[in-house]
């Protein structure tokens, strides 16, 4: 099947071809015909499967026909849980709609100045992409006219539910015409999402394109046991010096840890920066722009801030701290292995995390194999396989002849080859200059940090209790 077979407007087809796409993804093949037919849908689709285009292409197709209602308000409203995802959706709308005449796309997000948003909303708009909290503010001030709204999209509805936005979402939906078409996209379609759909959608078509297991098949998952913070820092330094690493996202549990670790890595010579919810929109946008341009090699982020990041050169995801929920593990490691490419996900865990790891493995249906780096062996004994777990083989198990693994006592050991002796930034900057963590002072004296060969000078990161 080609995009022409989907009967989309020819101007949209031209923009799709300009972007280098010729064949729709499974979610696009299933969702677009239903949406063009006017049905509501609820779809299970992970980021990286083409879900943004799955709803944006039909939305743009809708705009190709003039509205019968004379109004300046939006015809399409997309709600997202985070600013980063909203910006990604906005970029997609502009990219695929560039040949449609007079199509106006704007984003209304927290962290942006109100006067600028008031100016944007005073002009005619076709597609409005927003986060729920800020949009509620404008609705309460009477600045948005939804009289001609035809399509409402709830992107990553499960995350909006987790973040407590669903009441806001329902308030927003109540302010839109009952005749609207409603689309709900979620990583999972569980009971809680079903209840939301029952309140907001009309006889929706249900679409589920892939299981958790299928979405992880191209990502090699590695587990490293750590004794303490010093050991964890040395392991991180080893992984980041892997020559195969182009760009990496390192996940921490808290915003404070993200700042501290980013400053630490920058002081060691890595092009590193932090990304979290306490940064203002300008700082976040600058950091993401530098990541996309290759100016950053390492992004240290929290779960919410990294939601929606889609960059092809992210080869590694590192769970410096394990996520609180198993589904967040899937969202995290899904930042690598995009569009069918191979990726590597590395997780650090202590001997207290065994139950947590088991929950993750049950959720994904795959076992995470523990690896040992010579010279950085943990003092603790790695856990034995759970007798009750019968997960699918991981990518690491399938790669029997990988140059990064060797057999030792029946388990695979990770042994990175050809460590770089040059700049820790690799070639990401192209000019040999270090990256800088935007919006943060260099609060840590580099003399207190580990040196570049992995020895420790005694610095440890603060951990919440």
Please choose, from the candidates 270, 299, 274, the residue with its C-alpha nearest in 3D space to the C-alpha of residue 446.
270
Specify the pTM: 0.60
* Of the listed ranges 111-120, 129-138, 148-157, 413-422, the one predicted with least confidence: 413-422
pLDDT above 90 for 365: no
- Integer Cα distance of 179 and 413 in angstroms: 58
For residues 331 and 35, the model is more confident at: 35
Which range of 247-251, 281-285, 331-335, 355-359 scores highest in mean pLDDT? It is 247-251
Q: Edge-to-edge, what's the strand order for the sheet holding 181-186?
A: 105-108, 127-130, 76-79, 151-154, 181-186, 41-44, 205-208
Could you list the beta-strand ranges (E) of 145-233: 151-154, 181-186, 205-208, 219-225
Say what the pLDDT of residue 68 is.
85
DSSP 392: B
Continuous H helices in 313-353: 326-333
Q: Which residues contact 292 (CB under 8 A, 6 or more apart)?
A: 311
Q: Which of 311-325, 373-387, 394-408 has the lowest mean pLDDT?
A: 394-408
- The tokens for 439 are 């919006």
Question: SS3 breakdown of the chain: % helix, strand, coil, rounded to 5?
Answer: 35, 15, 45
Domains belonging to the chain, first-starting first, are 3-210 (3.40.50.300), 213-448 (3.40.50.300)
Residue 51, pLDDT above cutoff 80:
yes
How far apart CA 244 and CA 370 sit, in angstroms, is: 20
Residue 406 burial (CB count, 10 A): 13
- pLDDT over threshold 80, residue 170: yes
pLDDT for residue 453 is more than 50? no
Please write down the long-range contacts of 402-410, taking CB distance under 8 Å and 24 or more positions apart: 405/371, 408/372
Mean pLDDT on 153-164: 87
Longest Cα–Cα distance in the chain: 73
From the list 91, 89, 166, 172, the residue with the least C-alpha distance to 138 is 172
Interacting residues of 6 by C-beta distance below 8 A, sequence separation 6+: 24, 28, 29, 32, 33, 36, 57
pLDDT at 410: 38
Please tell me the predicted confidence (pLDDT) of residue 419. 34
Closest Cα to residue 178, out of 157, 199, 154?
199
Q: Which of 12-21, 116-125, 355-364 has the lowest mean pLDDT?
A: 355-364
Rounded-to-integer distance, Cα 218 and Cα 141, Å: 47
DSSP run (H or E) holding 414: strand 411-414
Distance from CA of residue 82 to its chain's centroid?
Answer: 10
């Amino acid at each position: 099947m080609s995009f022409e077979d989907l009967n989309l407007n020819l101007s949209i087809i031209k923009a799709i071809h300009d972007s280098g796409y010729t064949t729709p993804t499974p979610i696009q093949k299933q969702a677009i015909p239903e949406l063009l037919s006017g049905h509501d849908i609820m779809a299970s689709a992970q980021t990286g499967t083409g879900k943004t285009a799955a709803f944006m292409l039909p939305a743009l197709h809708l705009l190709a026909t003039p509205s019968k209602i004379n109004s300046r308000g939006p015809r399409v409203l997309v709600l997202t849980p985070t600013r980063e995802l909203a910006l990604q959706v906005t970029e997609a709308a502009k990219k695929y709609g560039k040949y449609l005449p007079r199509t106006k796309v704007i984003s209304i997000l927290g962290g942006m100045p109100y006067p600028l948003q008031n100016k944007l909303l005073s002009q005619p708009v076709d597609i409005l992409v927003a986060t729920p909290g800020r949009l509620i503010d404008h609705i309460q001030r009477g600045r948005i006219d939804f009289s001609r709204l035809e399509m409402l999209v709830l992107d990553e509805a499960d995350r909006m539910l987790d973040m407590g936005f669903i009441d806001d979402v329902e308030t927003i939906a109540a302010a839109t015409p009952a005749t609207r078409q409603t689309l709900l996209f979620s990583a999972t379609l569980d009971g809680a999402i079903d209840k939301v759909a029952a309140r907001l959608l009309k006889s929706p078509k249900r679409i589920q394109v892939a299981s958790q297991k299928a979405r992880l098949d191209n990502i090699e998952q590695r587990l490293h046991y750590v004794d303490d913070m010093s050991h964890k820092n040395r392991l991180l330094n080893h992984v980041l010096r892997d020559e195969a690493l182009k760009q990496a996202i390192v996940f921490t549990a808290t915003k404070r840890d993200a700042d501290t670790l980013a400053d630490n890595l920058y002081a060691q010579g890595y092009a590193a920066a932090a990304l979290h919810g306490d940064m203002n929109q300008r700082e976040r946008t600058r950091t993401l722009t530098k990541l996309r341009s290759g100016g950053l090699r390492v992004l240290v982020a929290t779960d919410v801030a990294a939601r929606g990041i889609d960059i092809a050169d992210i080869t590694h995801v590192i769970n410096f701290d394990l996520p609180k929920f198993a589904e967040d593990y899937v969202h995290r490691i899904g930042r690598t292995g995009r569009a069918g490419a191979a990726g590597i996900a590395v997780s650090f865990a202590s001997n207290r995390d065994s139950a947590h790891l088991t929950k993750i493995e049950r959720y994904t249906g795959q076992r995470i194999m523990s690896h040992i780096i010579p010279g950085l062996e943990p003092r603790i004994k790695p856990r034995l396989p759970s007798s009750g777990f019968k997960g699918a083989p991981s990518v690491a198990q399938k790669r029997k002849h990988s140059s990064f693994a060797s057999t030792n006592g029946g388990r695979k050991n990770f042994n990175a080859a050809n460590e770089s002796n040059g700049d820790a930034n690799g070639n990401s900057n192209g000019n040999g200059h270090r990256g800088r963590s935007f919006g943060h002072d260099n609060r840590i004296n580099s003399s207190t940090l580990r040196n570049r060969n992995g020895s420790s000078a005694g610095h440890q990161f603060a951990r919440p209790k």
